């Protein structure tokens, strides 16, 4: 690992992991009590972790809804002209 982190770019890339991935796991452990899986066996643990990940994804989508097509292209929806 020390050999990989010799360049400035490699150190900067490695430092970004704190911003990108690890906060999500930390928040899942604290807010959802996901630090200790309750179900036994690989299938149970996978299922429980999937539920935690799904809950986090849904919570993020609710907090940051996707823009509508009209918001993306910057127009308002006009009803079609009949005639």
Angle between helices 22-31 and 8-20 (to 10 degrees): 20
The span from the CA of 44 to the CA of 37, in Å, is: 9
Q: How far is CA 9 from the centre of its chain?
A: 25
pTM, two decimals, is: 0.50
Q: Phi, psi (5° rounding) for residue 64?
A: -130, 80
Write the pLDDT tens digit of every residue in 34-83. Answer: 778 888 899 998 999 899 889 888 888 888 888 877 777 776 666 667 76
Task: Give 23's pLDDT tier (boundaries 50, 70, 90).
Answer: confident
Task: Give 14's pLDDT tier (boundaries 50, 70, 90).
Answer: confident
């Amino acid at each position: 690992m020390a050999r990989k982190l010799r360049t400035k770019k490699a150190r900067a890339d490695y430092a970004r992991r704190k911003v990108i991935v690890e906060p999500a796991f930390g928040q899942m452990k604290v807010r959802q009590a996901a630090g200790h899986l309750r179900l036994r066996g690989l299938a149970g643990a996978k299922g429980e972790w999937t539920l935690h990940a799904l809950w986090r994804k849904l919570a993020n989508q609710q907090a940051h809804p996707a823009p509508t097509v009209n918001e993306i292209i910057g127009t308002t929806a006009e009803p079609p002209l009949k005639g």
